[in-house]
Amino acid sequence: MPLSYIDVSLKRDFWKELSAQISGKFKINLIKSNSHESLFLNFTYEGIDIEFSENDTQPLKVKFSSSAKRKCNISISGEDFIEKIVKFFGGNKEIQVGNPEFDNLYLVQGDDDVMLRRFVSKEIQTMMLALKVYSLNCKMDEKADRFEFSCTVSRQVSSLERLQTVYKLTCLIVDNLKDLAVL
Residue 170 to residue 150: CA distance in whole angstroms? 10
Does some domain include residue 105?
yes
* Overall average pLDDT of the 69-93 stretch: 72
Does some domain include residue 2?
no
44 three-class SS: strand
In this prediction, residue 30 carries a pLDDT of: 85
Does some domain include residue 1?
no
Does some domain include residue 52?
yes
* Overall average pLDDT of the 11-21 stretch: 96
The pTM assigned to this predicted structure is 0.89
* Overall average pLDDT of the 52-64 stretch: 94
Domain extent at residue 51: 8-179
* Overall average pLDDT of the 24-52 stretch: 90
Q: Confidence band (pLDDT; 50, 70, 90) for 89?
A: low
Sign of the Cα pseudo-torsion (113, 127, 49, 22, in order): negative
- Highest mean pLDDT among 64-73, 141-150, 160-169 belongs to 160-169
In this prediction, residue 145 carries a pLDDT of: 80
CA 66 to chain CA centroid, Å, is 15
Q: Is the pLDDT of residue 4 over 70?
A: no
Does some domain include residue 106?
yes
Sign of the Cα pseudo-torsion (159, 164, 167, 169, in order): negative
Residue 173 to residue 176: CA distance in whole angstroms? 5
How many distinct structural domains can be found in the chain? 1
Does some domain include residue 3?
no
Identify the weakest region by mean pLDDT among 18-22, 116-120, 143-147: 143-147
Q: Confidence band (pLDDT; 50, 70, 90) for 59?
A: very high
